[in-house]
Structure 1
Amino acid sequence: MEQRVSLITLGTRDMDALSTFYDALGWARTPSPDGVIAYDLIGQTLGLYPLDKLAEDIGLPVDALGCGASTLAHNVSARADVTEVLSRAEIAGARILKPAQEVFWGGYHGYFADPDGHIWEIAHNPFSPLREDGAFRWMGYGQA
C-alpha cells in the first residue's frame, strides 16, 4: 500500500446542511455521481455521503460507525490565518471547540466541529511551512 490518502469520506445525516457548510467556507464542488458531493483538495478529495448509505456499503449498522476519534487538519501559512479560518467556520455554522491559541509544540491552532460533528484542527506549524501551492508536508519540504 502506498503511503497516501486519496479520498476522505465524511458520513452525514444531512447532505444539504453539510454541503451548505463547506460551500460557505468557500470550497468549490467538483462534478460527482448522484448521491455524492465532492470537493477536490490538493492531491486528495473530500467526499460527503449519506451516513445510512455509508453504513450499508460497509455492512454495519449506522450506530456501529460512531463518531471516530480522529481529526482533519487544515494547515495555514500564517498564525493570523488560524483565527480567520475559525471565524469563517463559525459564521458558516461550525461549533468552536478550542479557540485559536499557542500549543505546546510551538505552533498556533484551534478546533471546530462541522454541523455533523466532524472535528477540524486549524493550525499554523512554523516547523512545516506550506509549499507555494498550499501543500503540506510534515517538517516541511526539502528536509529529510
Structure 2
Amino acid sequence: MSIDPRISIITLGVEDVRRSTEFYERLGWTKSSASQDAITFIQLKGTVLALFLRASLAEDAHVENTPKGFSGVTLAHNVSSETGVDAVYKFALSCGATPVKPPEKVFWGGYSGYFADPDGHLWEVAYNPFVQQDASGHLVLPE
C-alpha cells in the first residue's frame, strides 16, 4: 500500500473564525457555502483551506493547546517574478497581514518574504527561478 501524494485540506487553528475568514476574504478568496459558524472552508486550486477554532482543533487531535509560538510550519504562495512577490506581499499587508520579513533575495537563489495572518500563521511569498509553474500557477518539480 502507498498513500496518494496530495493534501486535501489544510486546516489552520484560529482564535476567531469570523475574523480569520474576513482576512482571507480580503485577500480575494471565497468562503464556500459548506462553511458553518464553527468552520470556514475556502476552495483553493486543488486544495481546501479550512479555518477552525484552535482549541477545538487541538481537542479533536487529542493534543494540548499550547501558547502560540513557531509551529514549525509555513505556508507558501509562489509567484513568477520578484515584482510579483513584492505586489502580493504589499497586498497582503493592506488586507491586515502582519509583516514578518520583507521580501529580499535569499540564500537559495530566489526572492521571498513572510507575513503572518491574524493568528500568526506564517505565509511565505516566493519567487523560485529554479522551479517551473504550469499555466494554472502550480509548481512543477523535476522528476
The equivalent residue for 1:96 is: 99
Question: Which residue identity does 1:76 align to in structure 2?
Answer: V
**Unpaired runs of at least 5, structure 1:** none
| CA distance 1:55–1:99, shift in 2 (3 Å) | same
Matched, 1:52 2:64: no
1:25 counterpart residue number: 27
Question: How many percent identity over aligned positions?
Answer: 41
Q: 1:43 aligns with which of 32, 41, 46?
A: 46
Aligned counterpart for 2:87 among listed residues 68, 84, 89: 84
Q: Is 1:118 the counterpart of 2:126 in the alignment?
A: no
| TM-score (norm. length: structure 2) | 0.90
Residue 40 (structure 1) shift: 1.2
CA contact (8 A) 1:82 1:108 kept: yes
- Where does 1:55-74 land on structure 2 (aligned, <5 Å)? 55-63=58-66, 67-74=70-77
Q: 1:70: how far off?
A: 1.0
- CA deviation string 1:82-102 (max 9, x = no partner): 011111111111111111111
Quote the RMSD (CA, aligned, Å): 1.7
Distance in 2, matches of 1:64 and 1:117, equals 12
Deviation at 1:137, TM superposition (A): 2.7
The one-letter code of the counterpart of 1:19 is T
Native 8 Å contact 1:8 1:47 kept in 2: yes
Q: Which letter maps to 1:56?
A: E
Q: After alignment, is 66-75 or 36-45 more displaced?
A: 66-75
Deviation at 1:22, TM superposition (A): 0.6
Shift >4 Å, 4+ stretches: 64-67
Contact 1:55 1:65 in 2 (8 A): no
Q: Name structure 2 gaps, 5 residues minimum.
A: none
Task: Using the TM superposition, give the Cα deviation of residue 8 of structure 1 relative to its aligned residue in structure 2, in angstroms.
Answer: 0.3
SS in 1 for 2:139: coil
Tell me the TM-score normalized by structure 1: 0.89
Shift of 1:134: 1.2
